[in-house]
Structure 1
Amino acid sequence: MPLEVIESYKVDTTKKDAKWILIKKYGLTQFDSGTYTIPKQKILIGNKSYFTDSLKVVVNTIEVDTTKQGLYEIKPLMDVDKSASDWWKTLLIILVFVAVVAALLYWFIWRKKPLTEAEEIALLPPYERAKLALKKLDESGYLENSELKEYYSELTLAIRRYIDEKVYDRALESTTDELISRLNLLKEGNQIDLSKETLKNLESIFKRADLVKFAKSAPDIELAKLDRNTIDLEIDHVKEVLPEPTEEEKLLDQQYKEAQARKKKQRKIVFTSLAAVMLLVAVYVGFGIKYGFGYVTDTLLGHDTKELLEGQWVRSEYGVPPIDISTPEVLKRDNPPTPQDIKAKLNITSFKYGTLQEDLYINLSTTTFQNQGQDPEKKEVDLTQVAAKSINDLEKQGVTDIFVKQEKFVTPNGAEGLKTFGTLKIPELNSNDFKDGHYVLLQFVSDNKDVLQQILITWADADRYAEQISERIINSIELKKATQ
């Protein structure tokens, strides 16, 4: 301090007369002129401290010869296009996000997952499922551990579930007496040809199982094994007396399976669609937070003036002397019809974009007065009166409620003129309605008073992009002399 260090250079080491010389340099800066003192600097060499001499620094001022160096007004701020150099980063993030969501959907929804043991068992026919339940009961070790309650619960569940699926659909929730009564009724009604011995065996085993489960009875282990074998045989007997399914039943069963498969696929499609919608909403919200929801919506749905604003602009010169201006598109020549008697006094060239009824309208005109320099009475041009005439011309075209404000306007290259601006109501095309809008009218007179240059811009109040376009156009205007 008080100077600012901008860079610390590496130590430069040289050898001279059997000694090493270490030179350390710093780059310093100071923008304000004056005299400054760099205080002593402490240097540590080994365990010893040394101090440098203080230094006096004089920062000189820069002399400017204003007679040779032209001075200009500070140019106004200009809007520039958003940098598109990192667009690929945004695109990459979106693609990665979409890929992750797609991978998750495939892995959890569409991937053909290996079936669990329970799912594989559920796909087996009822008879094979009952047999498998008895096999697993043999491997359970319940009898070895004297767990008779669990043993009989699994044993009776195997045949109850089989009867529930093939004979009586309330077998699982029925008591022993209710189930045996129902089976007897089915036998008497010739709906199933079960033998009396089968019914007796089932009733005996079911009641013994009830005593084990609810009365803590403990039958012999060998009796439990015998009951298991009896249930195995009775499952076979029930299967033997079941009627063969008809072709109609087989068809209905196949149709049921196909309907279930379709429902499963539909659920996958619905879930995937919801995930895709949520993904789109998330992307929309993310970009909306960053860029604004209106901007994102206009980008997705399209917006004419937004495309003009972000498109390739054109910088051209119009008229003589030329008006140098940047516009979204090249202005088209539109010279109005001029009576012969007026042509002898003035010459008008006009260029425009759009129409007054559209959301954006640009009109640029150059009026050259013939023999203006020879007529001293018409030498001075009152821009205020010219602006009033232009406002009157707008009213003749149906524009109403014109609010007028005026101020001095200076272009970036120093040309001075009159700025008339405010609000108005613009008639809508093929309608009796009006829409709110804004306008800016810029007018300039050449040094020799023989040329009047005008730029008129109107835009709809609800179109924020058109307002940005108008500001960018106005900030780009430069007037050139005829010699240029």
Structure 2
Amino acid sequence: MNNRLTTTLNIYKAAALLLFLLLSFQAFAQEPQINAKIDSSSIKIGEQIIFSIEVETDSTNLVVFPEGQTFDPMEMVESLGSDTTTVEGRFRLLKKYSLTQFDSGAYTIPQQKIIIQNREYLTDSFRVEVADVKVDTTRQKMYPIKPAVDVPKPFSIPNWVWWLLAILALIGLAFYFFKRRKKRKEAEPELPPYEQAMFELKQLDNSSLLQDREIKEYYSQLTFIVRKYLDRKIYDRALESTTSDLIAYLELKKQAGELSLKDKSIDNLQQLLRRADLAKFANSRPDVITAKSDRTKVEHLIKDIRQVVPEPTEEELMQDENYRREILLKRRKRRIIAVIGGILILGIIVVAILVNTKGFGFVKDSVFGNETKELLEGDWIKSEYGTPTVTITTPEVLMRHDVKRGDELQEMLLGSETFDSGTLEGNLYILLITGPVNPQGDFDLEKAVDGIYENLESQGARNIIMKEEEFSTINNAKGIKVFGTFDLENPITGGPIKKEYAILNFGENSGFQQVMVVFDEDDEYAEEILQRVENSIELRNQSN
């Protein structure tokens, strides 16, 4: 009995243990699995490594990978996206990042945070070695920088075409409004008020408005005629006044004794205006007989007003004439201002087109002038200078001038002659020095070139940048070209003047020759002058 009970208990214990193991395994299987790695732990400057994060989790879980520059001090070049695969009912997500670094040294990629169902997980950190790129200049030949290659631009409509179309459209609109205004003036002859009213009534009689039953238009023109006459003779706001306002004004004038118009005439005018308002705004259609009667009343009203309103005196006529002259002068001034404004606008448009197509520098140089451009486009002078002879072509003749040289250079020469044009602070300065070498001295062209820095500094140059290269003239004389930039103090403002310079040094014909050209920085015309001067230098053998 006891053995059977013991066996039963052992069976229950084994079953419980098995159940516990199954539940633990299931919980472990449901826990997300995260693995991170890099494809290389050692790179050169600028190379890239791939940082991979692999996550295995349940298909229902939301996974958020790190974004942005979270890999500092490494720089993320690109986030490569993620791949998803299914393994035994679970999702496996693989996310990759491209990282790099442009400074040598040892760097540690920090732990990256991954969020799965609002729970945070961290990856391992990684150490990366970034090595310098070694360049052996003794074995690797250095080549000059290749010149820029012009790439043909795709076809596009130039901007000046749109500007031209805009100008033509403006000119067309101006011409249209001018012609329209001119026709309007021709259609409205300048007649006295009474004659103008009678002329317009006759035109209305000759129209076919009544025959075509266009009553609304007929009353519009009829009321306009009488309102215009009143506007010119009695009330200068008759055209824009309402019917009640106009009648009230006439009655007020009559009560004040300033207008001896009959009450019947005012009543007829009031009935006419109200009937016209109904025809225009209430779609009322008076019959043709009523319309003709109203036309007759208008004519009688105009004649009555002509009788009661006295003709202007000679003084009033003179005042009116002066007023007309003033109006005419104002109109002329407006026309002149309009013409000047049009010319200015056209000029601004033309300048804008030139700036857009040719550039601001072209417009500035063409309008205000440019000294170096004038020198470049002027008559150049070819001449021989000093001994040993230097033949050179320059925009202006070089004048003999005394320039102090360094003691070391003076010891290497028996003497020297100096010629120049312009000033060091000006837009363009050209200096030529030539002289025979002292046979007892130790002349070295490299030593002469080394003294250029001190010489420039002694003339006030600061922040001197010097470059050096070999140079050959058109007759194959070999020399050394020193070029670069420096700053000069502006004698007026005290600020810096940015200068470019090129100094050509030769040791030909038992002598020393030096040509220096100094000009303002970024002056394209001066750069052309330099090229032309360099290409013109000739050092001829004295025996020849």
| Structure-1-length-normalised TM-score | 0.66
After superposition, what is the alpha-carbon deviation per residue over 1:390-447, rounded to whole angstroms, capped at 9, x for unaligned? 4323322222332332222221211112222222222434675442222222221135
Shift of 1:382: 1.3
After superposition, what is the alpha-carbon deviation per residue over 1:261-317, rounded to whole angstroms, capped at 9, x for unaligned? 223222322332233223323433444445432023112101111111111111222
Q: Which amino acid aligns with 2:499?
A: G
The answer as to whether partners of 1:121 and 1:129 remain within 8 angstroms in 2 is: no
With over 3 angstroms needed to count, the CA separation of the structure-2 counterparts of 1:464 and 1:169, relative to structure 1, is same
1:363 equivalent in alignment to 2:431: yes
After superposition, what is the alpha-carbon deviation per residue over 1:78-116, rounded to whole angstroms, capped at 9, x for unaligned? xxxxxxxxxxxxxxxxxxx9xx99xx79x9499999954
Counterpart in the other structure of 1:328: 395
Counterpart in the other structure of 1:159: 226
Which segments of structure 1 move beyond 6 Å, counting only runs of 4 or more?
Answer: 109-114, 210-213, 342-345
Match of 2:505 among 424, 427, 443: 443
Aligned equivalents of 1:115 and 1:159: distance in 2? 25
1:112-191 correspondence to structure 2 within 5 Å? 116=183, 119-121=186-188, 123-172=190-239, 179-191=246-258
> What are structure 2's unaligned runs of at least 5 residues?
1-163
After superposition, what is the alpha-carbon deviation per residue over 1:224-247, rounded to whole angstroms, capped at 9, x for unaligned? 544433332221111111133345
The answer as to whether partners of 2:508 and 2:539 remain within 8 angstroms in 1 is: no
Counterpart in the other structure of 2:449: 387
Aligned equivalents of 2:188 and 2:225: distance in 1? 13
Match of 2:326 among 259, 266, 276: 259
The answer as to whether partners of 1:110 and 1:268 remain within 8 angstroms in 2 is: no
Aligned equivalents of 2:257 and 2:322: distance in 1? 29
Counterpart in the other structure of 1:317: 384
With over 3 angstroms needed to count, the CA separation of the structure-2 counterparts of 1:256 and 1:109, relative to structure 1, is farther
The answer as to whether partners of 2:420 and 2:430 remain within 8 angstroms in 1 is: yes
Aligned equivalents of 1:337 and 1:152: distance in 2? 101
| Structure-2-length-normalised TM-score | 0.59
With over 3 angstroms needed to count, the CA separation of the structure-2 counterparts of 1:435 and 1:336, relative to structure 1, is closer
Aligned equivalents of 1:140 and 1:292: distance in 2? 62
Aligned equivalents of 1:426 and 1:212: distance in 2? 87
The answer as to whether partners of 2:209 and 2:215 remain within 8 angstroms in 1 is: yes
1:58-69 correspondence to structure 2 within 5 Å? none
1:352 equivalent in alignment to 2:420: yes
Q: Which amino acid aligns with 2:538?
A: E
Counterpart in the other structure of 1:411: 473
Query: What's the secondary structure of 1:453's corresponding residue?
Result: strand
Shift of 1:122: 5.7
Query: What's the secondary structure of 2:330's corresponding residue?
Result: helix
Between 1:474-483 and 1:402-411, the stretch displaced more is 402-411
1:466 equivalent in alignment to 2:526: yes
With over 3 angstroms needed to count, the CA separation of the structure-2 counterparts of 1:145 and 1:345, relative to structure 1, is closer
Aligned equivalents of 2:274 and 2:345: distance in 1? 57
Shift of 1:201: 4.2
Q: Which amino acid aligns with 1:235?
A: I
Q: Which amino acid aligns with 1:477?
A: I
Between 1:438-447 and 1:210-219, the stretch displaced more is 210-219
> What are structure 1's unaligned runs of at least 5 residues?
1-96
The answer as to whether partners of 1:361 and 1:458 remain within 8 angstroms in 2 is: yes
Query: What's the secondary structure of 2:235's corresponding residue?
Result: coil
After superposition, what is the alpha-carbon deviation per residue over 1:311-344, rounded to whole angstroms, capped at 9, x for unaligned? 11112221233212111111112255899xx899
Q: Which amino acid aligns with 2:497?
A: K
Counterpart in the other structure of 2:485: 423
Aligned equivalents of 1:324 and 1:242: distance in 2? 99
Higher RCO, 1 or 2 (CA under 8 Å, sep at least 6)? 1
The answer as to whether partners of 1:445 and 1:452 remain within 8 angstroms in 2 is: yes
After superposition, what is the alpha-carbon deviation per residue over 1:50-82, rounded to whole angstroms, capped at 9, x for unaligned? xxxxxxxxxxxxxxxxxxxxxxxxxxxxxxxxx
Match of 1:236 among 303, 316, 323: 303
1:480 equivalent in alignment to 2:540: yes
Q: CA RMSD in A?
A: 3.7
Counting matched residue pairs gives: 372
